Amino acid sequence: MVIIGSFHTTMLFVFQLLYSLFIISYSMTNSMNLSSSPIIITKKTEDNPLPIQTLFKLPSPIPNWPPGEGFASGTIDLGGLELCQITSFTQIWATHEGGPEGLGATFFEPSSIPEGFFTLGFYGQPNNSPLFGSVVAAKDVVGEALRPPIDYTLVWSSESSKINQDGNAYIWLPIPPDGYKAVGHVITSSPDKPSPDKIRCVRSDFTDVCETDAFIWGEDANGLSFYGLRPTNRGIGALGLSAGTFVAHNGVNNTMPITCLKNVNGNLTSMPNLSQIQALVQAYSPVIYFHPDEQYLPSSVSWFFQNGALLYTKGDESNPVAIEPTGSNLPQGGSNDGAYWIDLPVDQAAKEQVKKGDLQDAGVYLHVKPVLGTTFTDIAMWVFCPFNGPSKAKVGIINVSLGKIGEHVGDWEHVTLRISNFNGELKSVYFSQHGAGVWVDAPNLEFQSGNKLVAYAALHSHAMSPKAGVVLQGNGGIGIKMETGKGKMVFDTGSKYLVVGAEYLGSEVVELPWLNYAREWGPKLDYSIDGELKKVEKLIPGFLKAKFEKIVRGLPREVLGEEGPTGPEMKNNWNGDENV
Ligand SMILES: *[C@@H]1O[C@H](CO)[C@@H](O)[C@H](O)[C@H]1NC(C)=O
Ligand SMILES: *[C@@H]1O[C@H](CO)[C@@H](O)[C@H](O)[C@H]1NC(C)=O
Ligand SMILES: *[C@@H]1O[C@H](CO)[C@@H](O)[C@H](O)[C@H]1NC(C)=O
Ligand SMILES: *[C@@H]1O[C@H](CO)[C@@H](O)[C@H](O)[C@H]1NC(C)=O
């Protein structure tokens, strides 16, 4: 267990080191500075500039991180293939229709490549968000890790397309020499085949299997479409990473012509050490807003235990026991076999008190993980609420309270910050929502006080959301309401947090006993869904009853709240990728 406090003394202590780091990072940003690079902005259409015409920057500059090993040093070594991040681009082609929101997409050639590094592929992005991507360029350290393509195949051209476009596009697939693979396409504005020197192919042992990620653009359902890429094997310690390039892919052919990269030695030196984790949390820690009507707030786990939570044993239900502050008397390991569960205190007054949580005392629990070939750090921030309140539904224009449906004891939600290990920049954030969730890229996040992330916890369910408002989970105007809003109840996660898991740091982080408790944090439901539905349906117009019931019964178990949840370490995303 590591309690994080002030880091100013460390900052002073390492001033000299910081200074030399500053010199390095200064020269790096200077050579890769976007404002000084030949960016050609997409042609303006009518009076409305496209979102992509703005270059995204976090509200505040990225701070100088405290010194460590390889974190935020600008380059990452994959075991003989050294990478740097390129965010400087020259526009090659744009179309103003199709793609996300029908705004088209723009394709770029990476520019300002540092001495000794080579482009691996070009970059493409939908026009509906500010320009914010990056690709990697590579330097051959072992020798023989990179080779120019032997030729190119023209895979698509926009010549005969009747689309609204700036010039024509020709998309080329590099043909790699034997034993090498292409990790990106080249795109040109003339039909002439590009020079083999435009790009490098990568030796097969530095590549990994990949799949399509977000849709960028496509002409029609039957033609070729452009997608981002992500490695097929993801999660903690997985070695694959995308080069940031795109793939032109015909959905019918499952053979992916472009591959991902692989961190061959799984080198962890690019990961932040504890001082750097602390600085990252100070820079980005979410400010979580609870709904103005919320009655069930978070607490620390030890507060929950010390205020009367009880451990029940199957077959001995009449003898629940109090739980030690660290959970040291909870059964360790095993599986979620229903042999034990946690419940609120028996005494009615104590029960109501514990359900409300204690915002002042609440903290977040951090799990820090190397992902995407250790080119990124995921910081999963877990929030515990003693009680998840009942759900509310919307049927047409009618608001319906769902009785006890959705209620359960013990609620674990999280947000995950994905941070680049090249420079410590926040790239995207995952918001957990009832066992599922969404990734949101930095340009679409809300920030306050510099680069601190704003997150909203939904009324009663505490599902995390990047926006305030009402989202309906269902269809046809009928569904469960996820309501978020900026109330006065605010949880500043940066003020109280605890690193509870960072396997790569070895014995520096000691796991708390409650993390290793495999059973449920609440009892199985003590009400009947049928009974609750009957009560609720009395309020719903007859012709909508069947549809309403179908939607409620089709909800995931986490939303219905039929049983208490398991703890963070028992969830698939503790070791795996987030559930998307
Ligand atoms: C992080 O690394 C730096 C440089 O090696 C070192 O001075 C600092 O003490 C480390 N911090 C921790 C918490 O290990
Ligand atoms: C990890 O990479 C760094 C930087 O290239 C290198 O100095 C170090 O030897 C590597 N460590 C291992 C275990 O390969
Ligand atoms: C699928 O793609 C691969 C690589 O691009 C190619 O060799 C193969 O011929 C394609 N197969 C079909 C059925 O189009
Ligand atoms: C239903 O609830 C919403 C808040 O989610 C509120 O704005 C609206 O006025 C309510 N509608 C009715 C008919 O009460």
pLDDT in tens, 54-84: 999 999 999 999 999 999 999 999 999 999 9
Q: What residue's CA is closest to ligand 2, atom 11?
A: 267
Residue whose CB lies within 8 A of the most ligand 3 atoms, among 224, 255, 259, for a mutation test: 255
Top-confidence range, 35-49, 180-194, 219-233, 459-473: 180-194
Asked if 371 contacts 420 with a C-beta cutoff of 8 angstroms, the reply is: no
Q: What is the pLDDT at residue 120? A: 98
CA angle 157, 163, 168 (to 5 degrees): 35
Q: Is residue 257 lining ligand 3, measured as CB closer than 6 Å?
A: yes
Tokens of 426: 């926040």
- Higher-confidence residue: 331 or 10? 331
Percent of the chain surpassing pLDDT 70: 89
The alpha carbon of 93 and the centre of ligand 3 are apart by a number of angstroms equal to 26
**pLDDT over threshold 90, residue 332:** yes
The pLDDT-based confidence of 561 (bands split at 50, 70, 90) is: low
Q: What is the pLDDT at residue 574? A: 82
Q: What is the pLDDT at residue 46? A: 54
Q: Ligand 4, closest atom to CA 398? A: 13
The pLDDT-based confidence of 418 (bands split at 50, 70, 90) is: very high
Provide CB contacts within 8 A for 541, sequence distance 6+. Answer: 395, 396
Least confidently predicted of 18-22, 166-170, 234-238, 409-413: 18-22
CA-to-CA dists, residue 557 to 349, 434, 473, 560, 564, angstroms: 29, 9, 14, 5, 10
b/e per residue 318-331 (b: at least 16 CB within 10 A): eebeebeeebeebe
Q: What is the pLDDT at residue 504? A: 92
**pLDDT over threshold 70, residue 47:** no
Least confidently predicted of 39-48, 102-111, 256-265, 431-440: 39-48
- Higher-confidence residue: 303 or 267? 303
- The 10s digit of each residue's pLDDT in 491-531 is 999 999 999 999 999 888 888 999 999 999 998 876 777 88
The pLDDT-based confidence of 579 (bands split at 50, 70, 90) is: low
- Cα–Cα distance for residue pair 274/502, rounded to 1 Å: 9
Q: What is the pLDDT at residue 57? A: 95
- Cα–Cα distance for residue pair 208/231, rounded to 1 Å: 7
Average pLDDT over residues 120-145: 96
Q: What is the pLDDT at residue 11? A: 33
- Cα–Cα distance for residue pair 388/390, rounded to 1 Å: 7
The pLDDT-based confidence of 7 (bands split at 50, 70, 90) is: very low
- The 10s digit of each residue's pLDDT in 230-256 is 999 998 889 999 999 999 987 665 678
- Cα–Cα distance for residue pair 214/122, rounded to 1 Å: 16
**pLDDT over threshold 80, residue 556:** no
Q: What is the pLDDT at residue 59? A: 97
What is the rounded (10 degree) CA torsion for 40, 46, 52, 53? 40
Q: Is residue 82 lining ligand 2, measured as CB closer than 6 Å?
A: no
Q: What is the pLDDT at residue 21? A: 33
Ligand 4: residues with CB < 6 A are 397, 399, 470, 483
The alpha carbon of 399 and the centre of ligand 4 are apart by a number of angstroms equal to 6
- Higher-confidence residue: 120 or 23? 120
The alpha carbon of 12 and the centre of ligand 1 are apart by a number of angstroms equal to 13
**pLDDT over threshold 50, residue 426:** yes
Mean pLDDT of the chain: 87
- Cα–Cα distance for residue pair 362/496, rounded to 1 Å: 7
- Mapping DSSP to helix (H, G, I), strand (E, B) and coil, where does residue 410 land? strand
The pLDDT-based confidence of 479 (bands split at 50, 70, 90) is: confident
- Cα–Cα distance for residue pair 382/367, rounded to 1 Å: 8
Q: Is residue 255 lining ligand 3, measured as CB closer than 6 Å?
A: yes
**pLDDT over threshold 60, residue 105:** yes
Average pLDDT over residues 86-92: 96
Average pLDDT over residues 102-110: 96
